[in-house]
């Protein structure tokens, strides 16, 4: 079966896109009054707090599933 590619099909890095969207969702939805800071610095390394990492993981899974559900059969 020959696959037809049109201008609506794009090749994306799912991990990179889901990570970017998860970061954006985290920043937009974070409640500083209830959850405190997003980042923690230890030994000069900046990372998410445990709560922020949990929320990021939730958003990542949600976005990753949505992106994969849009997969074209043309690739």
pLDDT in tens, 13-71: 999 999 999 999 999 999 999 999 999 999 999 999 999 999 999 999 999 999 999 88
Residue 18 lies in a domain: yes
Residue 2, φ and ψ in degrees, nearest 5 = -85, 135
In terms of Cα–Cα distance, which of 75, 31, 21, 73 is closest to 52?
31
Query: What residues have CB less than 8 Å from 59, skipping those under 6 apart?
Result: 21, 22, 25, 26, 29
Full domain range(s) for residue 21: 14-69
Query: What residues have CB less than 8 Å from 27, skipping those under 6 apart?
Result: 38
Residue 2 lies in a domain: no
Q: Tell me the average pLDDT across 3-7.
A: 66
Total domain count, the chain: 1
């Amino acid at each position: 079966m020959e696959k037809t590619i049109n201008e609506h099909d794009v090749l994306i890095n799912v991990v990179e896109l889901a990570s970017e969207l998860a970061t954006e969702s985290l920043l937009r939805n974070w409640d500083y009054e209830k959850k405190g800071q997003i980042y923690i610095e230890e030994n000069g390394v900046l990372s998410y707090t445990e709560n922020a990492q949990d929320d990021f993981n939730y958003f990542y899974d949600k976005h990753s599933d949505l992106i994969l559900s849009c997969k074209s059969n043309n690739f």
